[in-house]
């Protein structure tokens, strides 16, 4: 089980990274399906999420202890290099022996490392779709990542809109494929 989760995590990071490296110089200000974020904002958000993982998982720090260390522009002049470094460090933190069984103290309370890894894997998958849309790339997500993300998101999909982080879930058309179902759970129309 831990190996399968770590592979899904690595696959999601690779997918997002492929899209980051595909961003053209004139696309960083392009809109994304996340209404409040342009392409650069979206990449900054997902990169920032990865930066939080080592201090929370490896060092056992709390959100309060980390504070605003990852506020502001974490991308610098080379967003792809910033992404690559953050993604590599995040994956290494989750891959440490025992990391998935550790309790991580998150903003919403304690969680096992495996739950945190699953949550961020699904988040990375959905934001890969957002980024693909923002840059006009092929937005078809790998089936295995879609199925993983549906299983991760389904138990708490109804509460995501209340958090303010996602739009209300959309009605899923009859016969919709898995990717359409995943996107609809998160208020996105594919």
pLDDT in tens, 103-121: 999 988 999 999 999 999 9
- Contact at 8 Å (CB) between 134 and 31? yes
CB within 8 Å of 61: residues ≥ 6 apart: 55, 105
pTM: 0.94
Pick the closest to residue 50 from 75, 24, 76, 77 (CA basis).
75
Which pLDDT tens digits describe the chain residue by residue (190 residues)?
579 999 999 999 999 999 999 999 999 999 999 888 999 999 999 999 999 999 999 999 999 999 999 998 999 999 999 999 999 999 999 999 999 999 999 988 999 999 999 999 999 999 999 999 999 999 999 999 999 999 999 888 777 777 766 778 888 888 999 999 999 988 888 7
Q: What tokens appear for 135 in the block?
A: 């840059």
């Amino acid at each position: 089980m831990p190996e399968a989760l770590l592979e899904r995590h690595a696959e999601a990071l690779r997918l997002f990274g492929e899209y980051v490296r595909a961003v053209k110089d004139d696309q960083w200000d392009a809109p994304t399906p996340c209404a409040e974020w342009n392409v650069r904002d979206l990449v900054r958000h997902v990169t920032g999420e990865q930066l939080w993982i080592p201090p929370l998982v490896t060092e056992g720090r709390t959100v309060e202890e980390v504070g605003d260390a990852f506020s502001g522009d974490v991308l610098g002049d080379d967003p792809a290099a910033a992404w690559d470094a953050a993604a590599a460090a995040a994956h290494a933190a989750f891959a440490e022996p025992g990391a998935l069984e550790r309790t991580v103290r998150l903003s919403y309370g304690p969680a096992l490392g495996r739950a945190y890894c699953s949550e961020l894997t699904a988040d990375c998958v959905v934001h890969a779709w957002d980024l693909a849309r923002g840059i006009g790339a092929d937005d078809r997500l790998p089936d295995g990542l879609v199925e993983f993300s549906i299983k991760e998101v389904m138990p708490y999909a109804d509460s995501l809109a209340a958090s303010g982080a996602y739009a209300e879930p959309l009605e899923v058309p009859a016969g919709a494929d898995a990717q359409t179902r995943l996107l609809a759970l998160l208020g996105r129309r594919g």
